[in-house]
Amino acid sequence: MKTEAFDKRFDDGEDVSKYLDFSKAKRPGREQKRVNVDFPVWMIELLDREARRLGVPRQSVIKVWIAERLDRKTQTENRTSL
C-alpha cells in the first residue's frame, strides 16, 4: 500500500492497525536495559509490603518511585536554571 492510500484511510477514521507490524515498533528513548541492584533486607521487606498493598510487583514500585524522584529532580533543576 502506498503512503497516500494509508494516510487517506487513517484520515478517514479507518482502523489501519492491520497494515502495521507492531512486533518491530520501538519507542525512542524508552529502550530498556537490565541492571542489578542489591538492597538491604529491610528495604526489600518494605518494598514488598508496599507492592502487596498496591497489588503490583515489587519491580513496579521501584520503577515508579525512581521515576517520581527523577522527575522531581528534573523539575527542580529546570526551575533553578531559569
> What is the predicted pLDDT for the residue at 32?
86
- Domain residues for the domain of 65 are 3-27+34-80
pTM beyond cutoff 0.75: no
Confidence label for 69 from pLDDT (cuts 50, 70 and 90): very high
CB distance 61 to 54 below 8 Å: yes
Confidence label for 82 from pLDDT (cuts 50, 70 and 90): low
pLDDT in tens, 53-67: 999 999 999 999 999
**C-alpha grid cell, residue 14:** 479507518
Give the other-Cβ count within 10 Å of 56's Cβ: 13
Total domains in the chain come to 1
Q: What is the mean pLDDT of the chain?
A: 92
